[in-house]
Amino acid sequence: MPLPREWSFGTHRAWFEAPDVLWMKIRGETSLEDAVAILEASTARWAASGASSW
């Protein structure tokens, strides 16, 4: 199953554009839960790309 290419976290939005760009639109305050969700989504996308390091 392919990984999602777009995510929403509260009022924030993230989307992936090939080959390796992750865009973020931050609106308003960011909670700890939002920050963790953003990090987990971007880490999963990076790992799935086969890259060895940031």
Domain boundaries, the chain: 6-48
C-alpha 31: how far from chain center: 15
Q: What is the pLDDT of residue 39?
A: 81
Position 26 scores a pLDDT of 87
pLDDT of 1-54, one tens digit each?
466 678 887 788 888 887 778 888 989 888 888 888 878 877 776 677 666 555
Q: In angstroms, rounded to a whole number, what is the distance separating the alpha carbons of residues 12 and 34? A: 8
Please state the pTM of the whole predicted model: 0.56
Q: How many CB atoms lie within 10 A of CB 35?
A: 12
Where are any strands of DSSP class E within the chain?
6-9, 12-17, 21-25
Cα 50 from Cα 42, distance rounded (Å):
13
Phi, psi of 20 (to 5 degrees): -155, 40
